[in-house]
Amino acid sequence: MNQPKTDPRIQRTRKLIMDSFMELSGKKEFKDITITDIAAEAMINRATFYYHFEDIYDLLEKVLSEVLLVNLDCSNYQHKELNEEVITSIFVAITNFQQSLSNRCHRGYEDTIARNIREQLEIIFYKMLLKPHPTEEDEGLKITAVILSWGIYGASVEWKRKSNEITPEEFIQLALPHLLPRDNGV
């Protein structure tokens, strides 16, 4: 059964709240942003905020997920094979996402950011792994997706520490020969 379309007014209000939060996060630390601040910035009342989001943490999760999904462009990877080009592209998208947050108030929510990144990567990697192995044991592919997601996220954190020394592409290229099997004509 088809789900009904969401009313465009609801979508606009939700986007307005999320945009207002992003605007405020550029000016204040997360811990200092209140729902009253967000409502004032969005020119809505608190009840409207609560219609769309449970609390400020729910809003944070949704904003991070949406921004990350835009950066990752997940649909771009659904039908691709796991290879050097895809890993490089994903790694660059993750580092770009982290850079875009560097001017924001992310000190208060690194754990939430990390969890969001790993969860989205896990979904992407699982779908890519499942494609060439549709009959393989599901649990093994899920574990592999978890390992890849944590590894890529960890590498992005390490790159961030060295970001003024090397580009994300150069950084991940150093590891790729050791990650993926190569056909050496043997």
Q: CB 87: neighbour CB atoms within 10 A?
A: 22
State the average pLDDT over residues 116-135: 84
What are the sequence ranges of the domains in the chain? Answer: 8-53, 60-179
Predicted model pTM: 0.72
Percent of the chain with pLDDT over 90: 31
Give the lowest-confidence range in 9-18, 21-30, 110-119, 127-136.
127-136
Is pLDDT of 2 > 50? Answer: no
Lowest mean pLDDT among 16-20, 100-104, 142-146: 100-104
Domain 8-53 is classified in which CATH homologous superfamily? Homeodomain-like (1.10.10.60)
Alpha carbons 141 and 43: distance in angstroms, whole number: 47
Cα–Cα distances in Å, from 99 out to 24, 43, 103, 125, 146? 18, 29, 8, 22, 23
Nearest to 113 by CA among 92, 128, 99: 99
